[in-house]
Amino acid sequence: MRRFSLTRNNACALVTLAVLGVSGPQASAEEAAAAAAQPTAPSAVAISEFDPRADAAYGAYQRGYYLTAFDLALERAKNGDAAAQTLIAEMYDKGLGIALDPKEATAWYGLAAESGNPDAQFAYAIKLIEGNYVRKDLAKARVYLQKAAEAGIIVANFNLAQMIVEASGGQSGFAEALPYYRKAAEGNVADAMYAMAQIYGEGLGVEKDDAVAFQWMEKAARAGIDTAQVELGIWLANGRGSAKDEKAALGWMQRAARGGNAIAQNRLAKMYALGIGTEKNPSEAGKWHIIAQRAGLDDPWLSEFVARLEPAERDKALADANRWPGG
């Protein structure tokens, strides 16, 4: 099964807050100019429960008035307001309006986690797992991930499942982790979708079911997991888990190949060489083989195939490969 790294981007799992009709304070001219100069709006801060007393601070944050937001939230944070502590941690963690300070961010996340803020519990758990600016503590991290997951932080379910599998392994570990993988997958966490595809495709802690695996593989592929796109293409070409569809298989392999996946580039070359899902196209096969080779994936069969091409086809393949990724 593919090994996943921890998922830190919890935007898909967090509740995006609206400013509750509270106008933020007037920012300084310097802050207003700086906010206007931002090319894109910042992502919503990782706070699902923000104390009404801190609405002005959050409103300033949303508008890009980071210094104002920091000043308004700091006193509340010092007085134990968990949501304000999380906002301060977020600003230190991203260097918004203040100097980037991961160590200070970690300390504030820890305080907010102890105070019960679910988003801070998730963020602090990741830092505890990785040992970033805090002593590594997997047991404590698991407790906080459990709390965050129970509080509705969807992506925490995926990371909790990962910890369970790492700790237990085997069929029993996957069986214990499955409910958390499922909840994360149903919450649109792409890596969890791919994990579900592998779990059902390989029968890990559950009865093997290619049809269910195919459904999750397709979801993961549509969510942008390139390895899922490759596997989905192979499954479609072979009729595994669904009806055989070579044309659809080609489409998924093209998508992954164009995204830079070397295995997809290699498989796509073979599909063009053999005419799977398309008419045979020797020069296109050569092009993708050369691109895959340059990415470090050689293939003796394709090398021989390209060597036997007509000079004009071989020259075209090389010219097209040289234009990659523009060509």
Written as one string, the DSSP assignment of 85-147 is HHHHHHHHHHTSSS---HHHHHHHHHHHHHTT-HHHHHHHHHHHHHTSSS---HHHHHHHHHH
Q: How far is CA 39 from the centre of its chain?
A: 23
Structure confidence at residue 1 (pLDDT): 54
- The label of the residue with tokens 């907010």 reads 112
d(CA 292, CA 260): 9
Q: Which long-range contacts (CB under 8 A, 24 or more apart) does 166-170 make?
A: 167/138
d(CA 288, CA 286): 6
- The label of the residue with tokens 């998924």 reads 252
Burial of 324 (0-12, 13-18, 19+ CB in 10 A): middle
Residue ranges of the chain with pLDDT lower than 70?
Answer: 1-55, 326-327
CA distances (Å), origin 192, targets 18, 50, 281: 28, 28, 37
CA atoms lying within 13 Å on the CB side of residue 144:
26
39 preceded by a cis bond (ω within 30 of 0): no
Structure confidence at residue 326 (pLDDT): 65
Structure confidence at residue 169 (pLDDT): 84
Could you tell me which residues come within 8 angstroms of residue 252 by beta carbon, excluding any fewer than 6 positions away? 221, 229, 230, 232, 233, 236
- 170's tokens: 């085997």
Burial of 28 (0-12, 13-18, 19+ CB in 10 A): exposed
Q: How far is CA 111 from the centre of its chain?
A: 27
Calculate the average pLDDT of the chain: 87
Burial of 121 (0-12, 13-18, 19+ CB in 10 A): buried
d(CA 142, CA 128): 9
Angle at 313 between CA 307 and CA 316, to 5 degrees: 110
d(CA 23, CA 58): 10
Structure confidence at residue 27 (pLDDT): 38
d(CA 13, CA 177): 19
What is the model's pTM? 0.82
